[in-house]
Amino acid sequence: MAPSLSADPADRIIVALDGMDPEQALAFASQVQGLRWVKVGLELFVQAGPHVVAQLREQGLRVFLDLKFHDIPATMAGACRRAAALGAELITVHACAGSEALKAAQAAALDGATRAGQPAPTLLAVTVLTSWEEQRLQRELAIGQGIAERVSALAQLSAAAGIAGCVCSPLEVAALRAQHPEPFALVTPGIRPKGAAVGDQARVMGPAEAIAAGASQLVIGRPITKADDPCAAFAVCCEPLKA
């Protein structure tokens, strides 16, 4: 099941708390007015541990835990059970783990959340990391399938295994939405509001364009976290999403 979202544009924006230590992340999250969703990635989680998820939840935030699990079914299930019991509502898993692992992870996450009295989590499948290029997939992993075809096939595998959404690049969102109507979640990073620095993101889209293309939520990091005025930058991202 995709997460329940209100009509408030703030529900569409997940701010990535990258490059911050735990104290900075908590202070940042409490400072941005109207913020509802944050993303905790590997760097913050490895430093701060599960406690930071609980602390963010105590601050009233909804948490996307982006640890991209990829392991044998029992380990995936155990990790997703724990993540959901912490209150993470979006949790990433690699589609390449295969349908058995995805099914086990999905069932365990739901069970973990229910037992802990936490909201039902949504697992999001990662298909092909955007750092891969077709030629390198072929050369290093002997994968001859084109990236678009592979993204589509892995999203299909995930959906058939009961996974309720995917993380995808802005370039993939329209094609995936055509194959997976709402409420399938499509969470899209690589978003840049007008005038923001593109940085190391090669292919970007504006917030309104990405939502129009079919994204259900957007992940935005540095345009907000590195802004001189993060509150204003968050408001700028929300503005074009107002009905």
3 state DSSP class of 29:
helix
Count Cβ atoms below 10 Å from residue 11 Cβ, excluding itself.
Answer: 18
DSSP annotation of 3 reads P
Catalytic residue (choose from 68, 103, 226, 242): 68
Q: Which residue, 190 or 230, has its beta carbon nearer to ligand C5P?
A: 190
Pick from 222, 233, 234, 238: which binds ligand C5P (CB under 6 A)? Answer: 222
Helix or strand (DSSP H, E) at 78: helix 73-86
Compute the residue count for the chain: 243
Closest CB 221 distance from ligand C5P, rounded Å: 3
Q: Which stretch binds ligand C5P (CB under 6 A): 26-34, 79-87, 132-140, 218-226?
A: 218-226
Contact segment (CB under 6 A) with ligand C5P among 22-30, 49-57, 213-221, 234-242 equals 213-221
Q: Determine the Cα–Cα distance for residues 69 and 121; give it in Å rounded to an integer.
A: 15
**Cα–Cα distance, 197 to 227 (Å, whole number):** 10
Residue selected from 164, 220, 237, 238 as contacting ligand C5P according to rule CB under 6 A: 220
- Binding of ligand C5P at residue 216 (CB under 6 A)? no
**Interaction of residue 127 with ligand C5P, rule CB under 6 A:** no
Active-site annotation holds for 68: yes
Q: How many residues bind ligand C5P (CB under 6 A)?
A: 14
Q: Report the C-alpha gap between 123 and 238 in whole angstroms.
A: 25
Residue 201 found at the interface with ligand C5P (CB under 6 A)? yes
Contact set for ligand C5P, span 20-59 (CB under 6 A):
41
Residue 189 in contact with ligand C5P, rule: CB under 6 A = yes
What's the CA gap between 39 and 95, in Å, rounded? 20
Handedness of CA 171, 174, 178, 180 (dihedral sign): positive
Name which of 120, 119, 65 is nearest 93 in CA terms: 65
Q: Which residues bind ligand C5P (CB under 6 A)?
A: 16, 18, 41, 130, 167, 169, 189-190, 201, 219-223
Catalytic residues: 68
